Amino acid sequence: MMRLPWFSYRAPRTATEAARILAGEGPTAMPIAGGTDLLPNMKRRQQVPATLVSLRHVEGMKKLANGAGLTLGAGLTLTEVADAGIVREKYRALWQAAAQVATVHLRNMGTLGGNLCLDTRCNYYNQNYEWRKAIDFCLKKDGEICWVATASKRCVAVSSTDCAPALIALDAKVKLVSAAGEREVAAADLYKNDGIDYLTRRPDEILTEVRLPQASGWKSSYWKLRRRGSFDFPVLGVAAAVRTASDGTVEDARIVLGAVASRPLVTPASNALVGKRLTDDAIAEAAAKAASRAKPLDNTDLDIYWRKQVVAEFVGYALKEIRGDDLRATRVRYARHAL
């Protein structure tokens, strides 16, 4: 049985107090929300914070406010996000992403904020301490070499959050609170393409809110590839959002790929759609463009070449679903339930 290492536990009531504790304790302290990622990582000694700052009792973290757009507290569980009628109706990509994270139990505990700040993943890293020790560890933790790209000075562990690509496609912003004040950053700017230093969030900042713009005119969709349709992390996530004029011409579009780099990848493929209708040809062109950007590495599940090949297909599914095609049968092939 793997045991947790010793740690101190703090349970502040406000985000500012939480941020103050983080600032005071320095980089050996970490926030904990649902703990569904952090606690297993601690058991495997991938992350060994000396102090955990719990966000469970922090006020305002469960906010759900629908006004000029939608504000979601970072402490909402993924179940609460997926169950919110407004998310399902107007921000479908987020609903589909949240509803496909892990399992029911993990979604009942795991939060939106924790999902956005999720550690990057790699076959050589998500292993217990003895396994990692046997290969002399790796760059990301305790070692000096990257086993995926041995000449690389940079860790290429994979961004595996389902909600981040969806929120980037939906043009969301996040609020970060520190002892010095607060700032708002675009969800797209929360990430860096570095498997170790993968967030632009400073260690003393708490992500408190996700802010979505009004959804009028937009339709969105999220498609996820994984081995087991009811359980696994994505080995590919495709989020697309499209705004069309009344005659069906695309006015704006965003296509974001997850699990193909150390950060969600915003593709320029949307340029292929603007000014056109969502015809099969336009979709095929955008899908091919998006796929050309994806460079999956051999450090997650499933065959790397096949994962690269299916990117275009998945972009196509997302766009066709936005067009209004009935893709429930196709979804059932990849997930246990048709979303």
Ligand X SMILES: Cc1cc2nc3c(=O)[nH]c(=O)nc-3n(C[C@H](O)[C@H](O)[C@H](O)COP(=O)(O)OP(=O)(O)OC[C@H]3O[C@@H](n4cnc5c(N)ncnc54)[C@H](O)[C@@H]3O)c2cc1C
Of 116-124, 165-173, 244-252, 271-279, the window that binds ligand X (rule: CB under 6 A) is 116-124
Binding mask of the shown chain, residues 1 to 30, with x at each position contacting ligand SF4 by CB under 6 A = ------------------------------
Answer for which of 139, 177, 215, 266 binds ligand SF4 (CB under 6 A) is 139
Binding mask of the shown chain, residues 177 to 216, with x at each position contacting ligand SF4 by CB under 6 A = ------------------x---------------------
Asked if 120 and 219 touch (Cβ cutoff 8 Å), the reply is no
Q: Is 30 helix (H, G, I), strand (E, B) or coil?
A: strand
Nearer residue to ligand X within complex by CB, 242 or 314: 314
Written as one letter, the residue type at 325 is D
Task: List the single partner that 138 binds among ligand X, ligand SF4, none, CB under 5 to 8 Å by kind.
Answer: ligand SF4
Answer for which of 72, 76, 78, 187 binds ligand X (CB under 6 A) is 78
The first and second tokens of residue 186, run together, are 């675009």
Binding mask of the shown chain, residues 116 to 135, with x at each position contacting ligand SF4 by CB under 6 A = ------x-xx----------
Binding of residue 55 to ligand X (CB under 6 A): yes
Binding of residue 311 to ligand SF4 (CB under 6 A): no
- Alpha-carbon dihedral sign for residues 256, 257, 259, 265: negative
Answer for which of 147, 229, 274, 284 binds ligand SF4 (CB under 6 A) is 147
The CA distance from 223 to 237, in Å, is 6
The CA distance from 120 to 159, in Å, is 5
Asked if 109 and 117 touch (Cβ cutoff 8 Å), the reply is no
Task: List the single partner that 195 binds among ligand SF4, ligand X, none, CB under 5 to 8 Å by kind.
Answer: ligand SF4
Angle at 162 between CA 327 and CA 128, to 5 degrees: 130
Checking DSSP bridges between strand 206-212 and strand 181-186, what pairing results, if any? Answer: unpaired
Asked if 253 and 274 touch (Cβ cutoff 8 Å), the reply is yes
CB of 45 to ligand SF4, least distance (A): 14
Nearer residue to ligand X within complex by CB, 61 or 282: 61
Binding of residue 31 to ligand X (CB under 6 A): yes
The first and second tokens of residue 72, run together, are 């979601």
Q: Is 67 helix (H, G, I), strand (E, B) or coil?
A: coil
Binding of residue 299 to ligand SF4 (CB under 6 A): yes
Alpha-helical runs (H) found in the chain: 15-25, 38-43, 78-83, 85-90, 92-99, 104-109, 112-116, 129-134, 163-169, 280-293, 304-323, 328-334
Binding of residue 260 to ligand SF4 (CB under 6 A): no
Residue 185 phi, psi (nearest 5): -130, 150
Binding mask of the shown chain, residues 159 to 198, with x at each position contacting ligand X by CB under 6 A = -xxx------------------------------------
Q: Which residues bind ligand X (CB under 6 A)?
A: 30-38, 40, 55, 74, 78, 101-102, 106, 109-111, 113-115, 117-119, 160-162, 206-207, 232-233
